[in-house]
Structure 1
Amino acid sequence: MQTTNTVLMVRPAAFMGNPETQASNTFQKRLVDIGDVQSKAQLAFDNYVQALRNVDIDVHIIDDIAEHDTPDSLFPNNWIAMLEDGTLYTFPMEAPNRRRERREDIIIQLDTDFVVNKRIDLSPHELEGRYLEGTGSLILDHDNYIAYSCRSSRSSNQVGKEFERLSGYRIVWFDAHDLNMQPIYHTNVMLSIGRRFAIVCLSALPSLHERGQLVESLKSTGKTIIDVSFEQMGSFTCNILELKDKVGNPVYAMSTRAWEAFTSAQQIEISSYARLALGPIDIIEDLGGGGARCMLCEVFLEKRMAYC
């Protein structure tokens, strides 16, 4: 099952540009004179939740805890992932303040509402300086048990091998860089895979050999490739997620900025296939360096009978 109707989101309580992630995340901007960042981020978050619910996406909201001092808490997909076989994974994070996002109370709540068959904790790799930041690092083609990952300080090959062994997914690795030849920190800012489309910035792969391997893998699994430019990638056109509404129709979740960055032809191709969940989240994208997809943690677990 490639897409789900259910997502987990964390409402921010201490949002700001995270100084511990700026070294590796070139998508983060340093803005000045922007007023009450926290209120703006919460408003953007709340409006985006409503945009998702307007297209019949089931959104589960957890409140961040301000005292934890976790500025990137609204990006939960980096520390937790839940797969259709009932496994709940927790992942090793590079930034020390992001490790505090892993909350046992969130896991307990998920286990209350959904059927968790197994928990696998990969976070001990942090002790050895190895990281793999969930579905930021891994773009999962669930139907074909393939994962795609660009090499970076946040995506360790060694942790990837353990994920392959435990999950049954095979990882396709490649190098990816931005327009200034800086390594891309998370795969999900340059690649999105849904049931029909693979939206990708192929120019980000400097190796023509690896680029060819990526294209071959995507095409062999039946994906239609929508290739975007560096400039479009910088507007988070790849940091989007295909979901499905309550009757199974496709929905694409993305920011207003991302949607407006697609060409007219690309917009027609996407909108003729799926409904859209759009919202302006510029403050989150600019300071956090992550977009709509980063805010959405997919829940593929079975709902418990008592849940309503």
Structure 2
Amino acid sequence: MVPPNDFGFNPETAQDNEFQQKTEAPHYLIKESALEEFTLMVNQLRDHHVEVLLLNKHHGDPDMPDAVFPNNWFCTRHNGNIDLFPMKTSNRRAEVRPEALKKLLSHNGYQITDVNDYRDSKGAFLEGTGAMIFDHRHTKAYAALSERCDSHLLAEYNKQRGYDTVSFNSSSTQDKAFYHTNVMMSVGEQFAVICLESIKDQQQRAAVETSLKQDQKHIIEISLEQAEKHFCANLIQLRNLKNEPLIVLSESAYHGFSKEQRQKLEAHGKLVPCDIHTIETIGGGSARCMIAENFLPKQ
């Protein structure tokens, strides 16, 4: 996780992220609030026996208003590899700090075999696990195509990784492409939360449903309102140091689910709702975006 030291409204990403909301509050108060929310979330995760490594800002680093969402620029693999992804906006590209990341992981006893850099993409973008929802158990990647998820890069990356790609078009109430797949979909070990009504093409929708059912995923369907107003899809299932399953989500998402939906989710792990209202409202991303999983092997 990355502390939101420069947090604020990002006009560059707002071009295609319709969930960012500008506020008249002073910048220093926004930043203070975001840092407080972040610290409380980190403490909550640690209280639930999750190892949290913090990638801090170093002297000389540029302003990075969206640094709190690190899952977009890198992911880790069981084989010791780190993959770096091409980001759409210039001020988000500044977040990509492979040397600092390697140092942090190595210092904490993780083995890094190789770093695969996919950033030389000639104007095409693929924003990590924002763009791709991995089902590692069944070696699949689900992806809603957008300006931040190029179809050719997507296919090439997953072919190299040995994953099947299930791609589709997904759009909001305003008929705009969702900027990231993880705003309308998440996949856990045995469940999927998904806004199927955002997939307007009936064949694409059927293909996604069929794929999930083939892998015996328990589908928890949410509405466009739940996805857009409450970030109900932007959650993540983790296993803590005791190998217990947890589902991390925002308080907004927790309250946005119906009682029945919450009960279905709870069958797959203890729910850990975090109060990240400022980060959600101004940043346009939620709990899943704030966490980059660590699959690297211990040295």
Tell whether the structures are fold-level matches, with TM greater than 0.5. Answer: yes
Is 1:120 matched up with 2:113? no
Q: Provide closer, same or farther for how the CA distance between residues 82 and 223 of structure 1 changes in structure 2, counting only shifts above 3 A.
A: same
Contact residue 143 and residue 168 of structure 2 kept, 8 A: yes
Is 1:50 matched up with 2:43? yes
Q: How does 1:174-193 map to 2 (within 5 A)?
A: 174-193=168-187
Contact residue 240 and residue 252 of structure 1 kept, 8 A: yes
> What residue identity is the alignment partner of 1:44?
E
Q: Provide closer, same or farther for how the CA distance between residues 225 and 154 of structure 1 changes in structure 2, counting only shifts above 3 A.
A: same
Once the 2 structures are TM-superposed, how far is the Cα of residue 65 of structure 1 from its aligned partner?
4.4
SS of residue in 2 equivalent to 1:302: coil
Q: 1:60 aligns with which of 53, 58, 73?
A: 53
Q: 2:224 aligns with which of 230, 234, 244?
A: 230
Task: Output the CA distance in 2 between the equivalents of 1:29 and 1:206.
Answer: 26
SS of residue in 1 equivalent to 2:153: helix
Deviations 1:265-301 (A, max 9, x none): 0111222431122211010011111000000000000
Contact residue 93 and residue 154 of structure 1 kept, 8 A: yes
Instruction: Tell which deviates more after alignment, 81-90 or 265-274.
Output: 265-274
Task: Output the CA distance in 1 between the equivalents of 2:182 and 2:168.
Answer: 13
Contact residue 137 and residue 150 of structure 1 kept, 8 A: yes
Once the 2 structures are TM-superposed, how far is the Cα of residue 228 of structure 1 from its aligned partner?
0.3
Is 1:73 matched up with 2:67? yes
Task: Output the CA distance in 1 between the equivalents of 2:136 and 2:82.
Answer: 15
Contact residue 86 and residue 116 of structure 1 kept, 8 A: yes
Task: Output the CA distance in 1 between the equivalents of 2:268 and 2:4.
Answer: 32
Task: Output the CA distance in 1 between the equivalents of 2:156 and 2:221.
Answer: 31
* Residue segments in structure 2 that go unaligned for 5+ positions in a row: none
Task: Output the CA distance in 2 between the equivalents of 1:68 and 1:170.
Answer: 37
Deviations 1:210-242 (A, max 9, x none): 000000000101101000011110211100000
Is 1:24 matched up with 2:16? yes
Once the 2 structures are TM-superposed, how far is the Cα of residue 33 of structure 1 from its aligned partner?
2.9
In the other structure, the counterpart of 1:278 is: 273
Q: 1:157 aligns with which of 146, 151, 162?
A: 151
In the other structure, the counterpart of 1:15 is: 7
Deviations 1:85-132 (A, max 9, x none): 22110000000000000112122322443111221100111xx11000
* Residue segments in structure 1 that go unaligned for 5+ positions in a row: 1-8
> What residue identity is the alignment partner of 1:182?
K
Task: Output the CA distance in 2 between the equivalents of 1:297 and 1:46.
Answer: 16
Once the 2 structures are TM-superposed, how far is the Cα of residue 193 of structure 1 from its aligned partner?
0.2
